[in-house]
Structure 1
Amino acid sequence: MGSMSREALGSARSVLSDLGGSVDLTTGEQLLDAGRVIGGSVQLQSYLADPAVDVATKKQLLDRLFGSFSESTRAVLVSVVGSRWSSSDDLLAGIEEVAFRAIATTTPADSSIENELFAFDAAVRTDAQLELAIGSKLGDPASKADLVERLLGGKASRQTVVIVVHLVQQPRGRRIGELLRHAADIVADQSDQLVATVTSAVRLDDAHVTRLQHGLAKQFGRSLRINQVIDPAVVGGLRVQVGDEVIDGTVATKLSLLRLQLAG
């Protein structure tokens, strides 16, 4: 996101925070519904992101489109369209992120949305047919949503199901694994945690994970969760990604760099 979009997102997050206890799962669901409606029309998306259109006019349009939504949902949407965004795509991304944050605030005490998203990501990565079914650009969004409901219904929290159903319906050009990990990062951040995605050739044992978790938490100054990704292609070593920061100590990368040096 550009600087204008980051500022706009910050304003929307502040509105969400100020709403406090009035935010519930329905708020998040309605924000995602609104994002899909807006994203489904290039004209509507461009109009709501156009800084030349005054906020009052945009609000009237929102009221016509989403008048049945809760006051909390509409307050967040008004904040979103009332800010300047670097692009109309950023506006959609902003609605999605604030929706995920709203959903994260409703997580049941006995559930972890991040862990459920990571588990589904792992399942998708190991099942090519499933990845194609929910990730194909040619697939029907409603059919993808129905499949997610069948796979996760009764097995994951309703919060996780809502997030994944949205992602498969409006991927906006992103791969399903990227979508799931990005959503998990947002949910974790809302809980004041970071997520470290650790890629290795084999699964790390519990002691190794604990040491790594403590070391990374100390380095980044925040509590942190580990998401393990198994990829035999890395050969050995670890690749750690926390947000946009990547620490790559895999054998595959070292060999690739060595080959480049020898070729030079």
Structure 2
Amino acid sequence: MRGEASRIADRESRDSLAPKLRDTREDAWRIGNELFTITRVLDDNIALERALTDPSRPVADKVAVLKEIVGDRVHPMTMEILTDLVGRTWSKARHIANAVEDFGVDAMMYYADATGATLKVSIELSQLNSALLTLPVVRAKLYDDQATSQMRVALFRQLFGGKGLNKVTMRLAEHATCNLRRRRYLETIQWLINKFSRHMGESMVTVTTATPLVKEQILRLVKIYTAKVGRPVHINAVVDPSVLGGMRIQVGDEVTDNTVVAQLEHLHRTVKAGTN
């Protein structure tokens, strides 16, 4: 989100309402879904975004517009969030949709907290990210804006629907392809991973190897990366036999790939360049 006014509005709104949203516990699932739906409505209607962020328009008028759109169908907390957001100042009209989406993700995290699934969801998102790193064609299809959102969601469910993923993981991953929001698919998944890591007060380090890590290796990686990033880390160990050997380590957007496959691909590119 760009623009100082929007950054302040988003942060202050979420900070002020976080305790109330957290206290909704399992109702946060409904609230998150409602906020994701409203995000899409806003993304598809710039005139509505302008009406809700016009600084010259009384807040009461903006709230009246909200009530025309959602009526009494949404959870009271959803309406409270939207009312708070339209009462703030935004650098650009489209930034209010970013804030609604942020609240939607927050709601999903609080639901995961309430159901004891936060760490599981965080790990599953990292595993999903790791799996898609090796599937460029699938990645491209998941953010193909020439396909309908229904087709992209259907593809995701076809590939991952039977993997036993937590329903929060599924909902977040489907939101990422249902509403592209001018982002590549893995960009959104990485954003979600980072949000969960910050939420847990940890950094997620995804380590991909051909065989399972032993306890001593995990402890050593925890020590190394805790020192490197300056806060506690969680090691998400992913086993992928296709890497043959070595490790691929991802921390945030930074990927260090020392796998055998990566080294062979580098050698192949070097040899090919030398023969041209």
Structure exhibiting the larger radius of gyration computed from Cα positions:
2
Where do 1:39-54 residues align within 5 Å? 39-54=43-58
The answer to whether the 8 A contact 1:100-1:187 is kept is no
Query: Which residue in 2 is equivalent to 1:5?
Result: 6
Question: Secondary structure of the residue that 2:151 maps to in structure 1?
Answer: helix
Deviations 1:44-67 (A, max 9, x none): 123223322222111111111122
Question: Secondary structure of the residue that 2:122 maps to in structure 1?
Answer: helix
Query: Which residue in 1 is equivalent to 2:38?
Result: 34
| Distance change (3 Å), C-alpha of 1:239 and 1:109 | closer
Structure 1 CA distance for aligned equivalents of residues 225 and 142 of structure 2: 33
| Distance change (3 Å), C-alpha of 1:204 and 1:69 | same
Structure 2 CA distance for aligned equivalents of residues 8 and 60 of structure 1: 20
| Distance change (3 Å), C-alpha of 1:248 and 1:118 | closer
Query: Which residue in 2 is equivalent to 1:16?
Result: 18
* Structure 1 residue identity aligned to 2:78: T
Q: How far off is 1:224 after superposition?
A: 2.0
TM-score (norm 1): 0.78
| Distance change (3 Å), C-alpha of 1:4 and 1:211 | farther
Question: Which is worse superposed, 93-102 or 1-10?
Answer: 1-10
Aligned partner (choices 71, 75, 82) of residue 70 of structure 1: 75
Question: Secondary structure of the residue that 1:24 maps to in structure 2?
Answer: helix
Deviations 1:72-91 (A, max 9, x none): 11111122222222223332
| Distance change (3 Å), C-alpha of 1:247 and 1:52 | farther
Where structure 1 has 5 or more consecutive residues not aligned to the other structure, the ranges are: 231-235, 253-264
Structure 2 CA distance for aligned equivalents of residues 220 and 187 of structure 1: 16
Where structure 2 has 5 or more consecutive residues not aligned to the other structure, the ranges are: 241-245, 263-276
Aligned partner (choices 168, 174, 180) of residue 171 of structure 1: 180
Query: Which residue in 2 is equivalent to 1:258?
Result: none
Percent identity over the alignment is: 22
Where do 1:185-264 residues align within 5 Å? 185-196=194-205, 205-206=213-214, 207-226=216-235, 241-242=251-252
| Distance change (3 Å), C-alpha of 1:5 and 1:241 | farther
Structure 1 CA distance for aligned equivalents of residues 236 and 191 of structure 2: 12
Q: CA RMSD in A?
A: 3.4
| Distance change (3 Å), C-alpha of 1:79 and 1:220 | farther
Aligned partner (choices 106, 127, 142) of residue 135 of structure 2: 127
* Structure 1 residue identity aligned to 2:30: T
Query: Which residue in 2 is equivalent to 1:89?
Result: 94
- Aligned residue pairs total 248
